[in-house]
Amino acid sequence: MVVGKQLPSGRAVAALDLFARENVGLLINYIAVGAVHGLFQTLMYPYLNVYLNMDDYLAYSAERWLAVPWLLKVFFAMLSDGVPIKGSRRRAYMLIGWGTCFLFSFILAVLPSETPYLRNGVVTNSAAEEAGNKYVAMFVIATFGYVLADTASDGMLVEFAQLHQARPTYVVTTLFAARYLAQFVMTFFVAFMCNSNSYGGTFAWGASVNGMVVIAVMISAGTIAATWFFLLEDENPAGYNVHILTPREWKLTAYKLFHQRAIIQLMGYMFLSRLCFTYYATSAKAIYEYWTPAGTLITNIFSSLNAAIFAGAALLIGHGSTMRILQKLGWRQSVAGSVVISGALILVVALFTIYNVVRVAAITLIMEQGIAVFESLAYFVALLAAVAVAEPGVECTSFSLIVTMGNLAVPFSVSLSQAIGEHFDVFDSEYELDSSHARAQAMYCFLVAVVVRALHLTFLSLLPDRAEDARALKLSRFTGRKGSVTVLAAAVCVVFVIFWALLTTTLSSFERTSCLNVAGGEGC
């Protein structure tokens, strides 16, 4: 079986084997994306904020800039679908992406190692923060590289799933399980290797950032080789002619996609779903800083477990009895159950911790992982729906359009959380005193978070109940004046949320504006 082949419906194809020599390169790409993503995400903040002593707002802003490539993923997808390189729409962009990541990771690795700002309580490099900007730039450009490779991989994933419609769940969950498992291993590794006092930890030893980035260099090089030798792509898939799309063809493609009810409906669902799930109670800082404090290492270990939870959930959804149960329940009931149970767990954690019934850091962190189990279920259901409605010929663009809406919901959620949370803020001294007023305000903030999560239930009608329903929905199109208004509104919303995400990221980069609620600050 050759990757990327689109066969007419009813044609029999060979059983899918992701571990076959011609396919395993795709699996390796997903593993590499998870590993490099975990490395960069875990390493960036402690290195900038503690090791180099950059201001909090600058370190936070760097994290926001690291997410920008994911916000622009749909544009990479358009490149992959519409500008094939010598007939290759996927493999070529994987190689370019990993080549970019390799180059800038290599530059990071060979840069002279910076002396930490503080070592054993003594200031050793008062000018350390001046080196931060060049590291941020290199990390962000390297991230653009592996996100490009990830986007092209997603296009091939959709081709796999559409070719083997009897096992689309297996394709999606296996590849994403590999990705999140690699992310877990890497974040767990970084948590131990970068836990010296220079990083705000407790170990007497620790790895340098240059040494850690060598791992990204090796992964990028290995993935380039795997993509070259262990991944085949049909450069002339049946059903459509691979060629560079003209502006007129792109205009017709965009018109077709935005008039499909399935695409618009799932774009709206993905945005609203992620908005509800990522909305947070700003008073949570009271729990973690004052009422159930945990050490840096413990916090980082539990953070890494979040990726392990997603990997485990993917495997359960795609295999065995769990898959059969979900198929019986349907997507809507599965997500509804996830919303209700995760909301209930948040409420229990808040009540027990705020009112001092149980204040044990380990229990709070374990409960967080329990919440992540149900959030991961809803996440993978949305991914399966996106795969089901992806349009042949522009698989990558249609899939990424839906997924990118979920990514764009996160900056919007941050702004909303901070704007609402501001009304329940109290001074840190009240949290330390554990006053009744501080408890009440913290509880109100968590109640709002639970209510926002519960609102998710009102959007479930946008989600098809099963893959068959999703494919049937593709036959429905927006027509007439009402349809044109809906399509125009959807296009305006997409442009606005992209603008909002880039605006808030930019605002977070400047001291005078980083304190604004919309930028994720606590108010000026």
- Give CA torsion, residues 504, 505, 509, 515, to 10 deg: 40
Phi and psi (nearest 5°) for 105?
-70, -35
For residue 80 the two structure tokens come to 């992959």
pLDDT averaged per 10 residues in sequence order, the chain, 524 residues: 36 68 95 98 91 91 96 96 91 97 96 84 84 93 98 94 80 95 96 86 83 96 97 67 84 90 96 97 84 84 93 88 83 96 96 91 91 96 95 93 97 94 82 88 94 97 94 90 91 96 95 90 80
Q: Which helix (H) or strand (E) holds 316?
A: helix 296-318
Q: Specify the 3-state DSSP secondary structure of 510.
A: coil
How is 34-83 classified by DSSP, letter by letter?
HHHHHHHHHHHHHIIIIIS---HHHHHHHHHHHTHHHHTHHHHHHHHHH-
pLDDT for res 197 = 83
Q: Which amino acid is at 115?
A: T
How is 359-425 classified by DSSP, letter by letter?
--HHHHHHHHHHHHHHHHHHHHHHHHHHHHHPPTTSHHHHHHHHHHHHHHHHHHHHHHHHHHHGGG-
pLDDT for res 327 = 82
Q: Which helix (H) or strand (E) holds 256?
A: helix 247-258
Q: Is 176 left (phi over 0), alpha (psi -120 to 50) or beta?
A: alpha
Give yes or no for a contact between 252 and 68, defined as CB atoms under 8 angstroms apart: no
For residue 411 the two structure tokens come to 């900056």
DSSP bridge pairs for 203: 196
Q: Specify the 3-state DSSP secondary structure of 198.
A: helix
How is 149-177 classified by DSSP, letter by letter?
HHHHHHHHHHHHHHHTTTSHHHHHHHHHH
pLDDT for res 11 = 34
Q: Which amino acid is at 518?
A: V
**CATH fold group of domain 255-407+424-479:** Growth Hormone; Chain: A; (1.20.1250)
pLDDT for res 7 = 37
| DSSP tag of 427 | -
Q: Where are the domains of the chain?
A: 21-232, 255-407+424-479
Give yes or no for a contact between 437 and 299, defined as CB atoms under 8 angstroms apart: no
- Total residues belonging to the chain: 524
Q: Which amino acid is at 364?
A: T
Phi and psi (nearest 5°) for 78?
-60, -40
pTM to 2 decimal places: 0.93
Closest to 506 measured CA to CA, from 492, 519, 524, 496:
519
Give yes or no for a contact between 412 and 280, defined as CB atoms under 8 angstroms apart: no
Number of neighbouring beta carbons within 10 Å of residue 11: 9
Closest to 23 measured CA to CA, from 35, 37, 13, 8:
13
Q: Which helix (H) or strand (E) holds 119?
A: strand 118-119
∠ Cα 130 132 138 (to 5°): 135
Whole-angstrom Cα distance, residue 55 to residue 100? 29
pLDDT for res 268 = 97
Whole-angstrom Cα distance, residue 307 to residue 34? 9
For residue 504 the two structure tokens come to 């808030």
Whole-angstrom Cα distance, residue 137 to residue 117? 20
Give yes or no for a contact between 343 and 349, defined as CB atoms under 8 angstroms apart: no
Domain 21-232, CATH 1.20.1250.20 — does that match? yes
| DSSP tag of 125 | -
Q: Which amino acid is at 380?
A: F
pLDDT for res 13 = 52
